[in-house]
């Protein structure tokens, strides 16, 4: 079974731009969660999607948004990028709920200059 | 306010000895706990979990202990091997999934010395 895939793996943007990251969950998994990892803050929950609906949302500004498609693939978008958005963005999939074991993708390393 | 705390940013252990990684939490609603291991340039991988109805869960060299009254859990690795060198994250979830998904600690970098 293929694991969680994320594209692109690396991305460099400048302040004010926007970015879209993509995540393909493990086949059969319907829940996709996004996390931001920074050295100072560790792993922080962004949001979770299940059956194309945002089910949970972390404490991030509205510049961070996401969506999920009918095939469970998910995208997250960050608009008006700030230097502090530089981080590793991780996507995790699980069968139905974050309480289930979550499988993480390799992440997208975003650098904002 | 950090709800899941891993107070040791790093830990160095000799190969063959026991590694003990600690995690404290403040939210009494948490009832499911997980440990993840992360190598550089890779996403975290699930290691072991424990439900609050248990106080111990064992899987091979890995054992997780939960002390609900102290709001403390620990991960024991014995014997420690070089391949165990990684960052270990403790994570917690509340019964309804909560508004925060999984809440992670900041991680402990375990270094196994030969």
The string of DSSP codes covering B46-101 is EEEEEETT-SEEEETTEEEEEETTTTEEEEEESS--GGG-EEEEEEEE-TT-TTTS
Asked if B51 reaches chain A (Cβ–Cβ under 8 Å), the answer is no
Asked if A86 reaches chain B (Cβ–Cβ under 8 Å), the answer is no
* pLDDT tens by residue, B9-42: 999 999 999 999 999 999 888 888 999 999 987 8
* pLDDT tens by residue, B41-89: 788 888 999 998 999 999 999 999 999 999 999 999 999 999 999 999 9
A97 falls in which pLDDT band (50, 70, 90)?
low
How far is the alpha carbon of A47 from chain B, nearest alpha carbon, in Å? 7
A100 falls in which pLDDT band (50, 70, 90)?
low
CA atoms within 13 A on the CB side of B86: 20
pLDDT of B2 reads 78
pLDDT of A42 reads 79
Asked if A63 reaches chain B (Cβ–Cβ under 8 Å), the answer is no
Cross-chain Cβ contact B97/A43 below 8 Å: no
User: Bridge-partner residues for B93, per DSSP?
Assistant: B32
The torsion angles phi and psi of B12, rounded to 5 degrees, stand at -115, 130
Cross-chain Cβ contact B43/A92 below 8 Å: yes
DSSP, res B16: T
Q: Given a cut of 80, is residue A70 above it in pLDDT?
A: yes
Q: Given a cut of 60, is residue A94 above it in pLDDT?
A: yes
């Amino acid at each position: 079974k293929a694991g969680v895939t994320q594209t692109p793996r690396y991305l460099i943007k400048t302040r004010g731009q926007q970015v879209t990251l993509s995540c393909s969950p493990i086949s059969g998994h319907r829940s996709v969660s996004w996390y931001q990892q920074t050295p100072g803050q560790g792993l922080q929950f962004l949001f979770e999607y299940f059956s194309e609906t945002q089910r949970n949302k972390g404490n991030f500004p509205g510049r961070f948004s996401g969506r999920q498609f009918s095939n469970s693939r998910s995208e997250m978008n960050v608009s008006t990028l700030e230097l502090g958005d530089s981080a590793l963005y991780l996507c995790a999939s699980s069968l139905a709920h974050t309480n289930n074991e979550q499988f993480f993708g390799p992440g997208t390393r975003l650098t904002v200059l | 306010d950090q709800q899941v705390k891993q107070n040791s940013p790093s830990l160095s252990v000799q190969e063959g000895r026991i590694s003990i990684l600690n995690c404290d939490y403040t939210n009494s609603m948490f009832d499911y706990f997980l440990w993840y291991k992360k190598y550089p340039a890779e996403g975290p991988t699930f290691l072991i979990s424990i439900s609050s109805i248990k106080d111990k869960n064992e899987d091979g060299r890995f054992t997780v202990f939960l002390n609900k009254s102290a709001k403390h859990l620990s991960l024991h690795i014995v014997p420690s091997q070089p391949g165990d060198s990684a960052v270990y994250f403790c994570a917690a979830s509340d019964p309804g999934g909560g508004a925060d998904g999984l809440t992670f600690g900041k991680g402990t970098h375990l270094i196994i010395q030969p």
